[in-house]
């Protein structure tokens, strides 16, 4: 009597098409001929985009990344509410106080250089531990209201931590299935933090009688939670695992620094970087100087002007949650161009109609249309660049974005010192127009779908 035996099922015929948390590929041959003895992905592996809800561990990591985004937003948006009090507390001018915008640029620059290196050697676990540690250290020092030079240096650490966060989590989420929607939620949490922080800071200072630096007690606590949360969530995301996941993609092109050099040879990297340099400058300049503009030019009260900033960041938040579902239907390239045009039109209203309420509504709508631009750029970059340079390229572009968020608010502060804060609107309009022109150059480049979306 013959004995019936079961033949092993090839992995490509497995009922579940989603990779496990530890896999970024699906083998197309039977298991017996799969991965090599070294554990590297087989040469014939087909890349599969992970899904945000494929496992509890992936969901846990995503929520940890979103919390980090919320901490970053809470820091970035607080500048606008706190700057007037920094001027008074330290007895400094617009120009000098604007150094708190410029100093993070040093940290962003180092993050662009080091991010890919940390991924290769320490994996995402390294980012999950180092980035929040930078924030914890910086916020703790700032909450001690140190001498102004120490305050400025502390913001270098803030920039370093934010740069690591941005490069790591944008690339990780940008390679997921339905990445536009998921990135919209990730950046939406940045917007939630940015919406809440001016409201909290303004209320605590104007209504509860807190000092400006007391707000950073809360920021320190949030950064400590991020350190614990992300370290636990990404603990198994080691450097060796990261190298295995990307071995079939990287080939023999060298280490982390080589991949960074390769990323910089692509036109897409530079176009996205320069575009995000302007975008970051516009976003932070509005958020950073809107309170001063609404107080001095639109003659609003301190609390009402703080609420105008809250409206801007609320617009960004809503835009990221809502337009993330619209952009894929229009196309990411075209949708970004449309959103810039809408922002230009609303900036004209903001500038030319000298009414407080109309200005507040207009700046909120500017935030709505600008909100999803950054996620859209990340999606375009991940689709037009080889996957083995994603971390390096997007880390570089994200650092440029944060650099713009440092340089342009400082520049506007210096000009405002000499010409008045009314220069804000024409400068923003010029930056939006240049950004639109730079983005238009992407339409001339061929689309390269280099990853298999499942």
Nearest residue to 432 (alpha-carbon basis) of 379, 372, 366: 366
Residue 1 has pLDDT above 70, yes or no: no
Average pLDDT of the chain is: 81
pLDDT band for position 247 (50/70/90)?
Answer: low
Angle at which helices 356-370 and 302-323 pack, to 10 degrees? Answer: 30
Domain ranges of the chain: 59-247+257-443
**Which 8-state DSSP code applies to residue 211?**
-
Residue 19 has pLDDT above 80, yes or no: no
Phi, psi (deg, nearest 5) at residue 234: -105, 20
CATH H superfamily, domain 59-247+257-443:
MFS general substrate transporter like domains (1.20.1250.20)
pLDDT at 21: 37
Residue 271 has pLDDT above 50, yes or no: yes
pLDDT top residue among 55 and 362: 362
pLDDT top residue among 451 and 384: 384
Top mean-pLDDT range of 152-161, 253-262, 394-403: 152-161
User: Which residues, 6+ apart, have CB-to-CB distance to 97 below 8 Å?
Assistant: 83, 86, 87, 90, 413
User: Which residues, 6+ apart, have CB-to-CB distance to 110 below 8 Å?
Assistant: 160, 163
User: Which residues, 6+ apart, have CB-to-CB distance to 139 below 8 Å?
Assistant: 75, 158, 216, 219, 220, 223
Q: Cα–Cα distances in Å, from 116 out to 102, 127, 387, 415?
A: 24, 10, 13, 36
Residue 86 has pLDDT above 70, yes or no: yes
Top mean-pLDDT range of 12-21, 47-56, 169-178: 169-178
pLDDT digits (tens, 9 = 90+) for 394-417: 878 888 887 888 788 778 878 877
pLDDT digits (tens, 9 = 90+) for 328-386: 888 889 999 999 999 999 999 999 998 999 999 999 999 999 988 988 898 888 888 88
pLDDT top residue among 176 and 153: 153
pLDDT band for position 135 (50/70/90)?
Answer: very high
Tell me the C-alpha distance between 309 and 292, whole Å: 10
């Amino acid at each position: 009597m013959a004995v019936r035996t079961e033949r092993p099922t090839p992995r490509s015929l497995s009922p579940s098409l989603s990779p496990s948390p530890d896999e970024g590929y699906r083998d197309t041959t039977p298991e017996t001929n799969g991965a090599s003895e070294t554990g590297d992905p087989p040469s014939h592996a087909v890349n599969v985009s992970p899904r945000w809800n494929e496992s509890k561990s992936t969901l846990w990591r995503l929520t940890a990344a979103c919390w980090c985004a919320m901490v970053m937003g809470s820091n970035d948006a607080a500048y606008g509410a706190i700057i007037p009090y920094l001027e008074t507390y330290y007895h400094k001018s617009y120009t000098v106080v604007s150094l708190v915008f410029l100093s993070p640029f040093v940290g962003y620059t180092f993050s662009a250089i080091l991010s890919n290196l940390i991924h290769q050697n320490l994996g995402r676990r390294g980012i999950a531990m180092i980035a929040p540690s930078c924030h914890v250290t910086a916020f703790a020092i700032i909450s001690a209201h140190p001498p102004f030079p120490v305050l400025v240096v502390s913001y270098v650490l803030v920039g370093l931590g934010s740069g690591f966060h941005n490069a790591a989590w944008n690339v990780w989420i940008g390679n997921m299935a339905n990445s536009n929607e998921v990135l919209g939620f990730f950046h939406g949490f940045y917007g939630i933090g940015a919406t809440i922080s001016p409201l909290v800071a303004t209320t605590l200072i104007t209504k509860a009688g807190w000092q400006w630096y007391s707000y950073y007690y809360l920021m320190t606590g949030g950064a400590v939670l991020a350190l614990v949360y992300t370290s636990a969530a990404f603990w198994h995301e080691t450097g060796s695992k990261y190298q295995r996941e990307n071995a079939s993609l990287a080939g023999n092109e060298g280490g982390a620094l080589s991949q960074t050099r390769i990323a910089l040879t692509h036109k897409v990297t530079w176009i996205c970087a320069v575009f995000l340099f302007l975008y970051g400058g516009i976003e932070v300049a509005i958020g950073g100087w809107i309170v001063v503009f609404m107080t001095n030019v639109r003659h609003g009260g301190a609390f009402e002007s703080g609420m105008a900033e809250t409206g801007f960041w609320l617009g960004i938040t809503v835009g990221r949650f809502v337009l993330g579902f619209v952009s894929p239907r229009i196309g990411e390239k075209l949708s970004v161009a449309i959103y810039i045009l809408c922002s230009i039109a609303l900036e004209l209203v903001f500038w030319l109609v000298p009414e407080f309420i109309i200005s507040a509504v207009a700046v909120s709508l500017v935030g709505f249309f600008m909100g999803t631009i950054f996620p859209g750029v990340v999606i375009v970059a991940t689709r037009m660049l080889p996957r083995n340079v994603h971390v390096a390229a997007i880390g570089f572009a994200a650092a440029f974005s944060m650099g713009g968020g440092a340089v342009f608010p400082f520049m506007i502060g210096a000009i405002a010192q000499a010409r008045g804060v009314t220069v804000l609107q024409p400068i923003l309009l010029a930056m939006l127009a240049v950004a639109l022109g730079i983005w238009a150059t992407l339409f001339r480049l061929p689309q390269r779908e280099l990853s298999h979306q499942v």
